[in-house]
Structure formats: C-alpha cells, structure tokens
Structure 1
Amino acid sequence: MADLLLLLRDIRTFQFNKVVGLDILLSALANDQSQVAQKITRLLMPSYFPLKVNIKEACSRCVTIVKRSPVAGARFCEFAVSEGAPLESLVELVTVFIRLVLSHDKLDEDQIEGLLAAVSYLCKDIAREQCYKNALKELFANDKVKSLFAAASTGRARSSVFEIVSTVSPDNVVGLLEQCMGLISKCKGLSEDEERQAEVRSAHKLLLSSCAFDDMLEALTMLLQKAVYRCHVKFGTEIPKHNVSSVKRKKPKSAVKISGKWKYASGKKASSFEEDYSIAVGIAWQVKDLLTSEDSRKAVLGSQHLELLFLALKVISEVSILHCMYCDYMDVYPVLAYTALALELTLQNIGISRPSGSGSKKDDRTESTRSSSEAMIDQAMVHLLSCTDELLGGDSGNPSKLSPGSKHDKSNMRQGRGHKVRELQKEASSSNDNGFVCTGQKITSKKVNMLTAVLKFIVDSTALGFLSHIRGGCAKFTTAYVQYVISALGQQSRDNLLFNYNDLKETFISLKSSFSYAAKLINLCLRDSSEASPPPAEAFDLVNELINLICSVELHMDSGYAARLVVVAKAWLLDLILALGSGCIFYQSRAGGVHFTASDHFKVHFPWWLLILARTELDEISKVNSDEDNGRISKQEEFPEFKKFMELIIPLLKGKPCILDAVGVVFLTGSVVGLERKDFGLFLGLVHFVCVKLIGTDNREWNGLDAMLVSLPDIYPRIEKEIEEQSQEGERQKLLDAKVLLEPVWMHHVFETERFSVMEEDMDS
C-alpha cells in the first residue's frame, strides 16, 4: 500500500490522504517495521518538512506532526536524512525542538518524549559530519543539558537525553553522569521494567562514551559484594577469595571527574537482605545486557573489576538456585549473568591466545591458555551442577565425577548447605510472611526457571565446543531435570494445586525453552558421534523423558499446551528419532554384539510414553471392534496430541528402513517387558503399533529389518505358552490378537527363509 501511494502521489488530481486517512498513516509510521515507516516518511516529507519552503516554515510543519503524534513524529525524524533532508536544515530543526522543550510551553509528557526522541534520532545522523557535530556541541553548551534533563519527567524522555549527550559529547556533563550512576545503582525491579531498561541502556552508553564505564562497574561490583556478604550472613554461603589476575588491567582515565559520594550512598541506610538481593538481580540484568553489545562487552571484559564481579555473581547464583524453593523473591537473572560471563571469559581467553603464526613456544602457550580457559568453564559447570544436584534431590549430573576434586570437601559443602536448607524449611513452615515463603505452585515455576538457565548454559557451552568430555553427565542432568518436571506436574495434580494464569504462562514458556535446549543437546551428542565415539547412553534416557514430558503436559495441564510442545518437538523430530534408535545405530561392535540396548534401560526405568502408546492402540482396536459389533460411538479419545506426535514419526521411519529397524527394536523391547510382566494390554498395543502402523501390510516378511527379526524369537515362542496358561478370556484374546499380527512374519522365516526353527515355538521361556 505504501508503494502504491508513493507511485500515485505525483498525480495532481490524486490526494493520498483521501485514500488513507492521516491518522492511519501516522499509526503505521509509529508502529510498523522500519521498511514501511521509511516509505511513509517519504510520502509525508513534502507536507511536513518540504524542501521548497523556507526553513522556518518547514520546522513549523515538523513541530505540528510531532505534537499531533509524538511517536510518529519522532520516527519521521529518524528517516528524514535518508529521505533527503539537508543536515544544515536539520540542525535548525533540532534548535527549534530544544527551544520548544525548554520554553515550558503547554506540552504534555508524551509530546516532550516525542520531541526529545526526535532530537536523539536527528543528532545521530547530524553528528556523523564533524562540522555539524561542533554546531550541536555549541547548541548544548552551558546548562542546556541540565535543563533538558530537568524537563524530561519520564524514563523514555531521560533515555533520549542520555542518547543525545552520548552522541554529541558536550562539555560539563558531570551532573548528568552522576544521575546515570544513581540510575544504574538503584536498580531494584529493573528486570521487569522495560521502560527503565531502555533508560539504563542509554545511561550505560553515556558512561561508556564518557570514559566512566569502569567507575560504573566498580559501583556495581561493590553492591554485588554487599549482597554476597548478606548471603554469607543469612545462608552461611562461603565468600570466595579474590585471586589477583595474572593480566593487569589499567584503569582508563575518565574524561570527567565524578564525585565519589554516590558510591557509598546505598550503605548509609540500613537495608534488608531482600532489598540488597533485589538490587543484585537488577545488576545481574545489567551485566547480561552489557554482554550483548560489542562495545560494552569489550569494556566489561577489560575491566579491572572483572574477577570480583564474576565471583560475586557466582555466589549469588548459588544462593538463587539453592533457595528458590523457599524464598519467593529469588530470581533467575544472577544465574543468566554468571553463565553468560563465564562463556564470554572463556571465548575471550581462547581468542587472545590464538597464534598468528607458527612457533612451538607460542603454540604451547596457546594450548596452555586454552586448557586454562576450558578449566574455568568446567569449574563453572561443576559448580552449577552441584547446586542443581541438591535442587533435584541429589541424583542429576553427579558433578563429583565430572572433574577432579576432594569428595570430602564437597561433602562438607553439601552438609553446610543442607543445614541451612533445613533451617529455611522450618522457617518456611512457621512463617506467615507471603513475601518469603513460596507457594506450592511457585515452587515449580522458580525451579523450572533456574534449571532452564543451567540447561541453556550446558547447551551453549557444548555448541561452542566445550564440555565434550562430560556430555554424558550433562545429558544425565537434563534427564533428571525433565523427570523432576514430570514428577512435579503429577504431584500438583494429585494435590489439586492449580496454577494461576501468570504462573502457568511463565512455567510453560520455560518448559518450551527447556524442551528445545534438551533436544539441541541430543543433536550435539549425535553430531559429534561416530562408530569409534558413540553418543552417551544417557541420550537414550533423555529422549524417552522428553516424550514422557509431552504426555505429562497433556495429562496434567491440557491438550492445548501439549500441542504447543509438539510444535517445538517437530523441529527436532529427526534428532529425537535417531536418539531413540541410538542403541542399534551407534553401538554395534565389529563382532556384531550390541554394547547398549533398550532392554538395559527399560529394566531400570520403563518409559511411560510406551504405556500411553499401547493404551491408545488398544483404544483404537476397541473402537474398531465396537463400531463393527454394535455401531456405537467410542468415548472421546485421550492423549490426542501425543497421538499426533507419533503420527509425525511414522512417515519419517517408513522412509528410512535402517532407522525403522533401529527404532522398531525399542517398541519390540517394550512388548517383551509386557510379556514378562504379564501386562498383555501393553504387549498387544505395542505389537499392534509395530505391525499395523510402522511396518504395515507392505512388508509382512520384515525384509531388511534384521535387528527387529533378532527380537522375534524372544517374543513369538512365548505367546503359545501364555495362551495355554491364561484362564481369563479377555487376556487370552489379547494374546491371540498379537499372535495373529506376528504369525505371518514368523511362519515366513520358519518355512521360507528357515531363519527360525519350528522347535523355537516349543522353547521354554
């Protein structure tokens, strides 16, 4: 539509504002994507900043559009240069806007926001030419900046002032820098306030451009250390010793001298642990956000306060994970900041040490630095897995096996933590303070957020080439996490604890992310695998738990949530299928023996989803029989989304016989378990799925399915014996139905290929 309007605008008899109203155009200019907004700016330029009138008139028209729609007017100015407005004219426009803001004319907050945002956009373009940048410096000389900041009564307006100053770099901005310092220090609740986040980002940018960034990090580190001390007092958390870094960093000289009084202002007033922790959460958000931009990331990683910052985040992350069940205010951002910083530190060290040429000494030094870097990320991982191990009940990643260290020291550490946890449990049981005690539904939400953050760190680190030596432990942690979620959902259902909407939404967002991370971990394990280095057996456990999770969400939440989880799973379907068949695909020795089989794992933990699959197959058989016999309508089907998930798998397996063979063994192994348990419903359901759905009538001899045929002598000879011993007619009929399905392939290989012997039918189980 914008292209069409632009094409027709030069026709004298055509008036675009009669085709599309001005309000609609301004709304699109304010809210649509940049490509559309720029075209609308081009359309409106002749009306609101025409080049053929004198500059005073052009500026007056531009003021009109900003006053009418502040956001649209600001975006109009954002694209003015690219649409041909001369820089000299735009300097005059900035002058008009500034004069208007400072005139105390009858402007509302939105209009002031729009004018300052417009000035911010214009200054970014104008300052690219040094001569015009000098003109802007003169414009903002004396107390203009201070007056502008006083006029900016909202976070967005103040953010624009910070952006203007960081772009123009006027003199005499000490007072504004102190305002920035106060803003970034008083950051309680920052992680949930988007308007303040934009303001803080602009403050960061201003401090960086003014060479005051290291002063800011010093302030943030001091506040984090205060929170660490509070953690030590409240929870007995050990305060780590600071080791002087081997790399000495010079503190950059600040372009301006900032008063130090604000650094200690927060310490003059007594504060609670919760308040100090909330400030630490706001700082953690800032650290994570600073690492996303190249300039600020370099400044953080080059700071002389980096090590203290990292160690403080480590302690606060530990407290956040261990006590999230008992303290409602515990937040995930310290963990996100700690893990992001650990990754960046590791990547920075490797990048610095990478040799530019040949030479054994440099190569040795490079390898040493690389080992040191990887050791650091290993330590961070072991530390987090140790914390989550306690959160999950002591059976997740087993961090003591992941790296060398004193088991005695780790035991003492856990005993100390356990003592504090027990104290908190007593406090939680007797406390009536809703700000402290987590409700039952919050327990799951908080833990899921923490565990998702740790899982993200595992996957990011593995994707970057680290942790390959402990990928089995990482997969084991992920499996334990998914098992926890399944157990917690079931417990909440049994206890009739209903999520409120916000908790349910937050928890499910984390669950979707966790599913993707877990599937990505499986992908990485498979990608790095070969016959010589097969994927860890834990990957097989993990894929089974992920499918269990789909069933659990459908059972305990509802099918709508399960459908959304299936959409996530669909993107990783091939990886999930390969992981299911990994026992046959990767673990075949040259002698033909199998090192790892599904039966080894099913003896320890039988997958719940196979029970659900067998049940849905039985319901389908029952429905067919019921419709044939009585014409009755069956009851509403259960687990419809899980059935859709299985229907997605079937065509992918049918197209790859070798993978079908490997995955089919899993279902046949499950059917053997059904026979052993005398659960003939499980047995029939899985046999029906294999024979009818997976293989179908096109391959009744199972040609090319050698691994599945190997399983058949463990199944078919037992059926006749079980039929003879079974006295219950219903159970006997299930066995007869299964025999009918398997009999053609059995007889074919007895009489045609002679792969099996008739005597095997009489084998004693």
Structure 2
Amino acid sequence: MEKRLRSSLRSSAEEFLAAAASESESKQVKSALKALICSITPSSDLCTSLPAALHLALSRSLDCFRNSLQSQARDDGDRSSRSPPVKRVRRWEESSPSPSNDGAEELPVSQAETLARLRDIRRYACIAHICVSHPRKSFSPPDFLPCVRSLHDCLILFETDDELLLEVASLCEKWWKEKLPEREALISQSLPFLLSRSLTMNKKTYVHRVYAMRDAFLLFDFHDESIEDLKLLLLRCVITPLYLKTDEGRRFIAFMLTLNGKLLKEALALIKSQIPFGRKTVLEAYADILFRFWKHSEDSFRTETEDGFLQSLIEGAIYASSRSLANSIRRILRGFIDNRATDGVDKLLFRLAEPVLFRSLQVANSNVRQNALHLLIDMFPLENPDVTREAKNELLEKQFFLLERLLADDSPDIRSVAVEGCCRVLYLFWEVIPSSTITKMLTKIIDDISHDASNDVKLSTLKGIAYLLGNPQASEVLKVLLPRLGFMFLDPFLSVRMHVCDLLLAAKTIRSFQFNKVVDLDILLSSLANDHPIVAQKIVSLLMPSYFPSKVTTKEACNRFIALVKRSPAAGARFCEFARLEGSSSKSLIELVKACFNLATSSSEDLTPGQIDGLFTASSNLCRDLSSDAACKATLCKFFSKETLKSLLSTISSVRAQNSILSIASFVYPDGLVDFHDNCMRLIKNCSSLTGKVEMQAEIRRVHRLMVSNGRSNDLFGALADILRMAASRISEKLELPSGRKKKKKKIEKTRKKTTSKNSDLPLLAGSEDCAVAAAAAWQVKDLLAETETRTAMLTSPFLESVSSSLGTISRVFIEKSASWEQVDLLPVLAYTTLSLYRSLQDVDLTKVVDPPTDSSGEPRGNVSTALNYRAQCFLFLMNSLFSIQLNSKTISGVVRVSTALLKFIADAATLRLIPPSHPRWPLFASTFLRHLTSTSHNAAALFPFAKSSFTYAAKLLHVLLSAAAADQPLHQVPLLPYSSSLAHDLLDLAAAASLRLSTARPWLPDLLLALASPRLAADSPPPTQPTHLPLWLRSLGAAELRQFAGDGDGGGGAPPAIVGLLRAAAALLRKGNPKVLAAVGAVLVEAMEVGLRAGDFDLVLGLVRFLSLEVAEAEGAPPCGFLNEAHKLVGQALADAEEGEEQGRRRLEAAEELLRSLCGGVPSHFPV
C-alpha cells in the first residue's frame, strides 16, 4: 500500500489523489498519507499542483455525493409511495447473518455510491488537514482555502459520518487558530457543530476547544432569525454540569453573556430559575460566572444586570419565603461579596443593599429580619467608598447598633444568628473595630446571651466564642471573659455541655490558659464519672496532658494517673475507658494496668475502699480495650494469672471490685474459665431479692456475660430452670392448686413434699423466701433477654420450655394473690411476658394471628403465638375476677401494679401483631382496669404514679386498634369501634381524675379524638344510643368552665384543672383537622348537654356551651353548624319549658342560649352536619 502511494506521489498529484482514494479504510492508510505528505519539501512541484488537483477531485466527489443523495431521496420517496411498509428489523435480528447470502448484505446502488463518495471526501479532507498542518510549511495554506471552504459549506450534509464531521471541524478550527486568510468564512457551520458536540459528549476537551474559539462568536448576527438554534445551544451551556464544573466552561458562559442583550436576559432568567433547586457547587459556579461577566461587560449590560438581576437577588435574599431559598440566593451574591476588593464592588453592594437592608432589619416579620441579618453579616462592613471618613464611621456604627439590637430580638432564631454573626465580625475585623465596641459586644454576649432561655442561643454563644478563639489577637481578652461561661457546664442539655467541652479544648491552645479557672476541676471530674460518654471523652481529651501525658516517662504518667484516682476514683476509672481513643500508646497503657492492679492489691498503701474499687475498675476498663490486640492480650495473660484472679475473687468483699475482677477474667481468659465456673454458679444459685440492689445486679450481669461468652450457657439456664421449677413447686403446694394441676406437680420432688406436708395449709406470704428466690430468678431471666447475645442463647436453650412453664405458674400465683398481698413483686410477671413476646417473635407469621384452638385439657395447641394469645386471655380472666373484689387501701396497690404490667404486655403484643388486635377482649380489659383505677383514685393517693404509665399503655392499645381497623376494612364495618369509643372516654376520665399533665396525653390526642368520633363518622352507621350518665371528664370540663365563667366578672376563677388544658389542646387539633371529625366530637358534647338538660344540671350545660364558644368556635372562618344548631334547639326548648321558680337555672340557660345564638349566626351551609 505504501509503495503504491509513494509511486503515485512521484508521478503526479492527480495519480496520488486517485491512489489515495482507492485504498480501503484502515488506520495504516492515514499514517502512510501523513508520512508521505510530510516528506514533501518546499521545492517540490507538488506544493503547487496538489492544492489545485485536490480542489478539483474534491469538487467532483462533492457533486457526485449531492447527486447520490438526491437519487437516494427519490428512491426512498417512490418506495414509500408504491410499496407496503417492510417488517421492522428487531434488535436481535440486526446482527444475525442471513442464511441466503451468508452474511453479505447487498446495499442499493444509490446508497453504495453515497458511501463511496463519503469515503473519498473523508480521504481528501484528511489530506487537506495534513497539508495545512505541514511541519515544514511546504504548502501555502491559502491555496487550500477553496477546498476547506467547500468542505465547511457542506458540513451539514455529512451528519451521518462522525469521522468526517470531526475532520472538517478540526480543519476549520486549525484555520481559525492559525489566523489564516478568510477564517471568518469557516465558522458558521463548524462552530455550532463543536458547541453541540461539547454539550452531548461530556468531555472537557470539547469545552476547551469551544472556549479557545470564543472570539468567533462575535461574528454572528444575534438579531437574525436564523441564529435561534445557536442561541438555544448557548443557553444549554448555562445548565450543563460540565460547563459549570470546569473553569474554562464558566469563563465561556461569562463571555457568552456579553454577546447580546436578549441572550443575556434569557440566560439570567434561566440562572434565576435554577437557584431554588441548585446544589452548592452549581450556585457557586453561577456566582463565579456572574462576577466574571459583570467585571468584563460593557456599561449598558452592567447597568441592566445591576439594576435588574442583582437588585432582585438582594430583595429575594431578604424576602425569601424559606430559609433554604434565602441561603441559595446568598450563595450567588457571595461571588460579589468575596471579591469586594475589586474596584466598584463595594459601591455596587452599598447602592443595591442599603435602601432595603437596614429597613428590613426592623420590620415585624421575623423571617424577613433573619434573612436581612444573614445578608448584613455576609456583607459586613457595608460601606460607600465615595463618602467621607466621618460618614463611613457613622455607617459602621449604625451596623453595630443594629447587630447589638438583634442580640436582644424576640425571636430565638434571630438571636442565634446574631450571636454567631457578631463573633464572625469580631474574628474578621478585630483590628479595625474600636476596643470599646469589642468590649461592649463581648460583654453582652457572655454576660447576657449565655443565660438565654433558648438552648439554640446558648449553643450559638459557645460556637461563636470558640470560633473567635481562632483569632490570636482575641485570646487575651477572652482569657479574662471565659470564666464567666463556666456555669454552662452544668446545663441540663447535653448539647450545651458538649460545646462547653469543645470551647475548653479550643481555649487550651491559648498560652498559660488554665481550664480549671473556667470550670472547677472537681466539677469536671464529677462530670467525667457520671456524664454522657461523648462529654466524658471530651473531658478525657482535656485532662490527658495533665494526668497521663505522653511527653513524660511512663512511670511519671502512671503516678499522675494514680493521683487522679486518689482524688476521684470514679473519674479515674472512667478516664481509662477513653485513654486509648485519645491517643495513648498500648505500651504505656499496659504499664498503667500493672501499676493500678499492683497498687490495688498492695497492703502497704493506705487506700480507702472507694480508691481500691476505682483502681480495679480502671484496670478492667483498660483490659477491655487492650484485649482486642493479640500482643497486648498475651502480655496481660502473663501478668494476670488464673490463681491470682481466683484468689482475689474469693477474698475481696467489695461487689464492685469482684465485678472488675470478673471482667478482667472475661477479657484475658475468654477460652479457659473453668476455674471460675464454681464461683459463678454459686452466685447464680444463692442470690435472692435482687430488687434495688444495683451492685449485686451488676455482679450477676457480669457472671451471665462470662458464662455465655465461654459456652457455659446451658449450665446457666439449667440452674435457672431448676431454681424456678423448685420455687414453682413450693409455691403451688402452699397454695393448694386444683387437683388437675396438683397431680402434675407431684412428680417434681417427692422428698420436698414430705418435709413440707405439715405446713401445706399455711398461707403464703409475699415476703417469703420462696417468693424472693422466684423473683431473683425472674430478674435474671429478664436481664438475660435484654442483651442480644444472651437473649439468643436463651431462646435456643433446651431449658427454655421449662423456664417458661415455671415462670407461667409463678406469674399466675402472683396475679391471683395480688389482691391479698400488701406488696407484690412484679418481676415474675414481667419476665414471663417478656419471654413470651420474644418467643413469639422467633417464628410467627405476623399477618395471621387468630384465637388459638384448644384441646380437651384447655391448653393451647399450635405455635407459640397462639399460646401467647391463650396465656393473655387467662391472665385477663384472672384480673377481671379481681376487679370485682372489694379491696382495702393496703392491697389495692398490688392489683394496680399487676394490671399495669399486663396492660403493657397486651399493648406490646398487639403492636407486634402477636395477638389478634381486633378482638374486643383487649379494649374491654383496658376499660375495666381504667375505670377501676379511676374509681379508687379518691382514697389511694399512692396510685397516682401508676396513672401516667397506665394511660400511656392504654392509649397505645387504642392506637393499635384504630390502625388495625383502618388497615383491615372500612371504618364503618369494624365491630370494635364502640369499644374504642368507650376506651377513649375511660382514658379521658383517668386524665381528669389523676390530673395528668398535657405532655403525657398530647401524643395520643389524635387517637382519642378519632375514637370519640368513630361511631358517628360512617354514613350508614346506626344512631348512637343516648347516654344515661356522663363521663367524669365531661363533668369536670363543665364544672371548670362554669367556674371560669363565674370568675370572668370579678377577674377570678382560679387556674383551670389539667383536663381543661388537655381538652383545649384537643380543640386546637380539631380546628385544624377534618371538619367531619370536629362535627362528630361536637355531637358528643351536645349529647352530654342533653343529659344535663334532662337531669336539670344547667350549670353543666352552661359550662359545655362556654367551652364550645371559646374553643371549638375559634377556628378560622365559621364553625360547623350542625351540632351547634342542635344544641341551640335543645337549650331553647329547655328555656321555654323552664319553671318560673327556678331563677338561677333560667339565668344559666339564658346565658347558654345567648352564646349559642351568637355562634349559629352566619354559619355557611357547606359545613357537615
């Protein structure tokens, strides 16, 4: 191939072009052409003959190409008019060869000719490009102008050939960059092509090429109608991520904005439309683009942009409807604010912002004030460079005055922004701000704002001061002022305490700063011992250089830590939890473990028991962190021998120290703890009455973790099963269970029966040893279920059924005897219910929960979920029988406590769909219990602590019932709605009787209102039955409102009961919610009024009418008129029927009738009746 081309090149230009065109397509052809053409010297005759021959050959090929396109178009037109449509070729058929021609597809003659001409043109364009780019400049580029121009003018015809398009565009681009003659004639087609290519290919090289030819866009006439396509391409650049991401892309968009006024308006409108949805990087790119454009634009464009677009941005940043939108607009303006050193920017910002900014800082709308404050902080200091120095100082004082004023704004959000903004201003402009202004502002922030009632304002104070500490010039002033912030370390909010620690850590960089002058060291140590782990870790970071520094010897560091333990043992122990996280080396921590343990076991040191416990706990905490490293663990194993740990475990009497030794053993010897097994089992079997014994509970918990982690879980669960089985047997014998159950218990332990048969008729006492042992074992079961690892081991244990059965028997006894015992330990009941829930969650279809079938013995058949349902029913039967017994003040507490525990169990099981939530037995039990609790509240003040938890559990059950009703079937078809309504009344009665706070009931108000309204919401539901008596909450509401009515005249009335506040909050929800629910709840109040009218209780009627007038009728617009008209009718009828002698009752009815008449006037008819 190369030989043929070289031979033709020696003959003539025409033969060379013909040979080049005849070669097949390959990369080698292009390389060979480039090598041959580059070898032509300036003295060769081809330098003059080749351009003319190339132009002639190219012209012929172009003519043939046009003719073939026209012929192909005619053929396509004839075929479409005469032939039916051909079958569409499917994608999988395109690549499959035809069996008739073995893959060779015959093209039509016109199409084959078109492809041949395209190949020739592509070859000629390549030759032209090589000649124009000749390294020796052998050819005169103007000689090729006719060829290049012909290719450029036909560029639109080559749309099917990407290679040819790129070749021609590159040739035109080369012509423009080299500034060759008549380059202006080669951009009308090539430049739009490159621009379109840059938008579709998503490659930075195309953006670079477009930017390099940006001056060519100045040659286009943007007033001509034919330019619309190019304008659309240019506008697409404004929203193309590649252009916004690259520097040259942003520069090109800024240049593009200067091309035409109409194009500028459209581009600015497009940018403005992107602001609400743009990401941070996009908005920052627009800011850069707009500033570049403003900086290099003409005066006419600049003025239009300033007075139109930028002015609207500033106003939008102030009057934006949302904070996110205002923040996005300010990001755009940052392009000018960050470049305010540029000449003219300060004057521009002042001219645009001053007329609206200062005025907006003082308007009534808090959102506008906050947006304006953000803008002032960003633009600070706002100044006019053209005025005198006195005017500048006056303007600066005005801005400081406004900032100080906003520090005391009514809105906590504005105060938060003002505090951080003032600290930012002080940080940036400390040198130029007068010292009196600095002192005044810092004193205001530290002495006043730090005591703000808003938690966010206090956080902003701490963040702002910590940020200001970054300015070295402010450190000396803050060193004096920081001790005034020490009180914030005792703030009840965790976030405030965390930021105080951050402030102390930031102040640690100040030379000679002592953090204990801000927060007393004893307070820091107390917080380290007891506060949240996040705060504790920050305190450790603060104390590390003082009590375990890395720049001293290990011995000195250990001595300093021991001094810390002696001062505060609990703080020293907690210090070790985070020592490794704060950068202490493993080697130094191992030495610290040895020092602490040796000191704790030494008898020569005069240490208090608390200090010894602290040293053991510190050693345990360090071993926990170090045991994860194999090398450190090996070192610890050499130091801690099993004999030493076992000896200490048996000799040390402190429970806390024993817990620490067990922890060390579990970390250091996780695989060989046989020696500790007997001690652990002795602790498990001999413990009793764990209630309230925190240290003993911690010790048992350590033993549990130790045994489970070492594969001894079966021993643990077997021991618990034996304890519970023995306790259940003894308790059952003393209670003389029914014969059916007694026979089952005979086989448990015959020897035990012989020794206790004489005393079998004695009553079982709540404080007996058997009950204490059972309660302690139940606590262990419940605690084992609290951790994932121990819970998994228990639920897979072969002793699970035995433990569950024994706990069930003991729980039944405790429930039955709760009415006769003065004190009942709930641990067996709680442990059994918790275990039942977890067993049910192991393997149950949560979508299919039904009542369990039973066999002839009455025990449930089927899976654990149906057994759970059965056991819940049994417990409810026992409790319902207890509610009918007359209880004294000493025994009622036990019934209430057990009932509360069972109510929690039912609510949790119903939430998890482990019991059928649609069965009426659950709301009936809850209602019965709540009525029982409400009826006894007057003579048992000790029951009030149970009211809050009982209310919460019953409300949770009500929520589950309503959710199930909404999910399963339409509201009017659910049979449990009457029970839900009754439960809602009982809940409100309990709230009234126990004076529950609004915070307890507020989360459940929507459920209460929906349950009250549910019987009346359905269109085809039967009319509700008329109540014969009023619930307590309605009576309390009426009485309270009447007292308020009576006190309106003399300014008295007293504080309303808690139930009134609760119902007012409910009325506020009703006014904002569904009008149908409002009408249904209003009907409940009207029915209560009707009961009051029948009973002659006109005081109640007036109280309820007053509540309707002041709360229900305060909605925006008119209230629903249906139930109000009914109430008006009832009161009017009662007033007409009132006897003459009852003057007080008549006055009550007249007042009620006047209120209702004022409410019913002008009520629209579209509200539901």
Aligned 8 A contact 2:649 2:658 in 1: yes
Q: Which of 180, 184, 187 is equivalent to 2:680? A: 180
Rounded Cα–Cα distance in structure 1 between residues aligned with 2:506 and 2:1052: 61
Corresponding residue of 1:377: 868
Deviation at 1:230, TM superposition (A): 2.1
Aligned 8 A contact 2:528 2:536 in 1: yes
Deviation at 1:113, TM superposition (A): 0.9
Is it true that 1:326 corresponds to 2:820 in the alignment?
Answer: yes
Aligned 8 A contact 1:207 1:216 in 2: yes
Is it true that 1:455 corresponds to 2:879 in the alignment?
Answer: no
Rounded Cα–Cα distance in structure 1 between residues aligned with 2:534 and 2:568: 19
Q: Which of 11, 16, 27 is equivalent to 2:515? A: 16
Q: Which of 636, 652, 657 is equivalent to 2:1069? A: 652
- Return closer, same or farther for 1:745/1:719 CA change in 2, 3 Å cut-off: farther
Rounded Cα–Cα distance in structure 2 between residues aligned with 1:457 and 1:715: 45
Rounded Cα–Cα distance in structure 1 between residues aligned with 2:503 and 2:608: 35
Rounded Cα–Cα distance in structure 2 between residues aligned with 1:754 and 1:87: 77
Deviation at 1:114, TM superposition (A): 0.7
Q: SS of 1:489's equivalent?
A: coil
Aligned 8 A contact 1:544 1:607 in 2: yes
Aligned 8 A contact 1:722 1:735 in 2: no
Q: Which of 279, 302, 307 is equivalent to 2:801? A: 307
Corresponding residue of 1:733: 1147
Aligned 8 A contact 1:237 1:319 in 2: no
Corresponding residue of 2:161: none
Aligned 8 A contact 2:573 2:621 in 1: yes
Deviation at 1:538, TM superposition (A): 1.2
Aligned 8 A contact 1:324 1:446 in 2: yes
Corresponding residue of 2:1037: 613
Partner amino acid, structure 1, of 2:964: D
Corresponding residue of 1:166: 666
Corresponding residue of 1:422: none
Is it true that 1:290 corresponds to 2:784 in the alignment?
Answer: yes
Rounded Cα–Cα distance in structure 2 between residues aligned with 1:379 and 1:104: 61
Corresponding residue of 1:140: 640
- Return closer, same or farther for 1:713/1:83 CA change in 2, 3 Å cut-off: closer
For structure 2, which runs of at least 5 residues remain unmatched after alignment? 1-499, 746-751, 849-859
Partner amino acid, structure 2, of 1:679: D
Aligned 8 A contact 1:444 1:485 in 2: no
Aligned 8 A contact 2:1044 2:1054 in 1: no
Aligned 8 A contact 2:1086 2:1123 in 1: no
Q: Which of 673, 678, 684 is equivalent to 2:1102? A: 684
Question: Per-residue displacement from partner, 1:675-725 (whole Å, max 9, x unpaired)?
Answer: 22233333333233324432259877x5x444665x4597257325523x5
Is it true that 1:526 corresponds to 2:962 in the alignment?
Answer: yes
Aligned 8 A contact 1:325 1:443 in 2: yes
Rounded Cα–Cα distance in structure 1 between residues aligned with 2:939 and 2:876: 24
Superposition pairs for residues 296-695 of structure 1, below 5 Å?
A: 296-350=790-844, 372-393=863-884, 440-492=888-940, 499=941, 504=942, 507-530=943-966, 531-532=970-971, 533-534=973-974, 535-553=976-994, 562=995, 564-585=996-1017, 588=1018, 592-595=1019-1022, 597=1024, 599-600=1025-1026, 602-603=1027-1028, 605-624=1029-1048, 627=1049, 632=1050, 634=1052, 636=1054, 640-656=1057-1073, 657-695=1075-1113
Aligned 8 A contact 1:113 1:156 in 2: yes
- Return closer, same or farther for 1:345/1:242 CA change in 2, 3 Å cut-off: farther
Rounded Cα–Cα distance in structure 2 between residues aligned with 1:19 and 1:748: 65
Question: Per-residue displacement from partner, 1:582-636 (whole Å, max 9, x unpaired)?
Answer: 2223xx1xxx332362x45x23x53122122222232233334xx3xxxx56564
Question: Per-residue displacement from partner, 1:207-241 (whole Å, max 9, x unpaired)?
Answer: 11222222122112212112212222222235489
Aligned 8 A contact 2:918 2:965 in 1: no
Q: Which of 722, 737, 745 is equivalent to 2:1137? A: 722
Aligned 8 A contact 2:1132 2:1153 in 1: no
Deviation at 1:17, TM superposition (A): 4.1
Rounded Cα–Cα distance in structure 1 between residues aligned with 2:1159 and 2:530: 64
Aligned 8 A contact 2:930 2:987 in 1: yes
Corresponding residue of 1:208: 708
Rounded Cα–Cα distance in structure 2 between residues aligned with 1:203 and 1:275: 23
Is it true that 1:60 corresponds to 2:478 in the alignment?
Answer: no
Q: TM-score, normalised by structure 2?
A: 0.51
- Return closer, same or farther for 1:343/1:726 CA change in 2, 3 Å cut-off: farther
Rounded Cα–Cα distance in structure 1 between residues aligned with 2:565 and 2:1147: 80
Question: Per-residue displacement from partner, 1:174-196 (whole Å, max 9, x unpaired)?
Answer: 45322222222233220221121
Partner amino acid, structure 2, of 1:719: A
Question: Per-residue displacement from partner, 1:706-748 (whole Å, max 9, x unpaired)?
Answer: 4665x4597257325523x554222233333333344467788
Rounded Cα–Cα distance in structure 1 between residues aligned with 2:1115 and 2:905: 47
Partner amino acid, structure 2, of 1:545: D
- Return closer, same or farther for 1:748/1:150 CA change in 2, 3 Å cut-off: closer
Q: SS of 2:582's equivalent?
A: coil
Q: SS of 2:837's equivalent?
A: helix
Deviation at 1:83, TM superposition (A): 0.8
Partner amino acid, structure 2, of 1:40: I
Q: TM-score, normalised by structure 1?
A: 0.76
Q: SS of 1:468's equivalent?
A: coil
Aligned 8 A contact 2:947 2:990 in 1: no
Structure with bigger gyration radius: 2
Rounded Cα–Cα distance in structure 2 between residues aligned with 1:644 and 1:620: 13
Corresponding residue of 2:528: 29
- Return closer, same or farther for 1:197/1:467 CA change in 2, 3 Å cut-off: same
- Return closer, same or farther for 1:754/1:524 CA change in 2, 3 Å cut-off: closer
Question: Per-residue displacement from partner, 1:476-500 (whole Å, max 9, x unpaired)?
Answer: 11111111111112344xxxxxx5x
Deviation at 1:70, TM superposition (A): 1.0
- Percent identical residues: 35
Corresponding residue of 1:260: none
Partner amino acid, structure 1, of 2:812: E
Aligned 8 A contact 2:997 2:1058 in 1: no
Corresponding residue of 1:198: 698
- Return closer, same or farther for 1:692/1:206 CA change in 2, 3 Å cut-off: closer
- Return closer, same or farther for 1:11/1:740 CA change in 2, 3 Å cut-off: closer
Q: Which has the higher contact order (CA 8 A, sep 6+)?
A: 1
Rounded Cα–Cα distance in structure 1 between residues aligned with 2:646 and 2:624: 20
Deviation at 1:112, TM superposition (A): 1.4
Relative to structure 2, which stretch is displaced further, 449-458 or 568-577?
568-577
- Return closer, same or farther for 1:459/1:715 CA change in 2, 3 Å cut-off: same
Rounded Cα–Cα distance in structure 2 between residues aligned with 1:88 and 1:204: 31
Aligned 8 A contact 2:1037 2:1103 in 1: yes
Deviation at 1:20, TM superposition (A): 4.0
For structure 1, which runs of at least 5 residues remain unmatched after alignment? 244-263, 355-368, 395-424, 426-437, 493-498, 554-561, 756-765
Deviation at 1:73, TM superposition (A): 0.8
* CA RMSD, 1 decimal: 3.3
Give the aligned length. Answer: 633
Corresponding residue of 1:5: 504
Rounded Cα–Cα distance in structure 2 between residues aligned with 1:652 and 1:330: 41
Deviation at 1:317, TM superposition (A): 0.9
Partner amino acid, structure 1, of 2:1147: Q
- Return closer, same or farther for 1:469/1:29 CA change in 2, 3 Å cut-off: closer
Question: Per-residue displacement from partner, 1:271-321 (whole Å, max 9, x unpaired)?
Answer: 986101111111111111111100000111111111111111111111111
